[in-house]
Structure 1
């Protein structure tokens, strides 16, 4: 079909295919030099496996085969996770979660602080028991109390709790993991897990304050970023993370097909 001469020629330049660089520039780069090898840490409710520390997928598979009943092991930052799944499709699956990252240089301190509760570290067995009670109320996997207490007194773990000063009751919790301490992370990162607020004692801003406590703690330690994993349909939590400056990154979580995780790899109840 021909057009009148005065019409501008169609410019193919407008539809140039994006370069490989533009596609990949937002993908976190995995550095390995100086990193400890084959690192999996016991968080209490399961093992947190740092996949980038493993060169052999079969060793990851062996770890998942050792998962104990009632526990929820998970692997994050796995290299070529699709290849890992192809080697154990009946054992493993990709969790329907998304990973968000806060680059610490983008963090902004709040103009106003929360009120009505205090944030502190978990201290003793009583605290650990209360944290488990909150996990239970929220439908989460409970953690071994002795493991939590032991972990708290290491450089790798930081269990934060929110406390109601009125009665001294713990009303929320979050677990911070220092990647530098865990496996000498060349990327100088950190992450948090198991954010939970007592559904019977909700107060405005508890979850936000706990996330800020973790972020500011690792900011003070000079960490470069803070990661988290959240279910893809948890809109309320995702809105909170985005409001705090977190951005989604292409990082995936791998879990074992077990009774606890069944709803996530079977698609849930069928109509």
Structure 2
């Protein structure tokens, strides 16, 4: 389900997340806003790629980097956006927490990833059919077919996954089933999507000569437990500048000085090469 800016239908949001496992808002921000986001992503990548643990490989020519909110000029625009807040409240309840900010960059030559989910499914989801986390994505470019678009297998957020490798990677012989139902996403600058990271997905081969950076914002329901894999932080001045009704939903620590993040949330199967 994709909506346009100015319309928020919570029933439709819930239906999309409970069925396909993904929903989206076209034109959440302007193209110029997305261009500034890309500038910040590229600056953060140049800093991260030059130090140990700064950028994690997610397959050939594909990287993931976590950053602090102050490294992204548009961070508060995202977490205070009415649609972002409505999706979080609808899926995760009123006490949701934003705990992850990062970005994926598949460069030219990136290969098909294996079908995967980002972590094993908890009992609350595969038994209770309740989502406990969301991943929001915002593209920094207008995505085209040759840039290695994101693919998702709708409805697979409910699969138990007990036979998946590490609880995340279904066996290769089952991939044709996911390919048969796959939806390929071609978002444009300014679009924002939200999905269950348990819905099986993959990045596809980037056959262009361009990179395809995409921002990721991770959100948990209380008790989901993914905060152990992330270390978002902010200075006191930045924290004080955030409206209290927004700050209450941010999990980041307040620190005297920001330190570069050493990536903790590695996904071993995505580091091993071409799917």
Report if TM-score (shorter chain) is over 0.5. Answer: no
Normalised by the length of structure 1, the TM-score is: 0.30
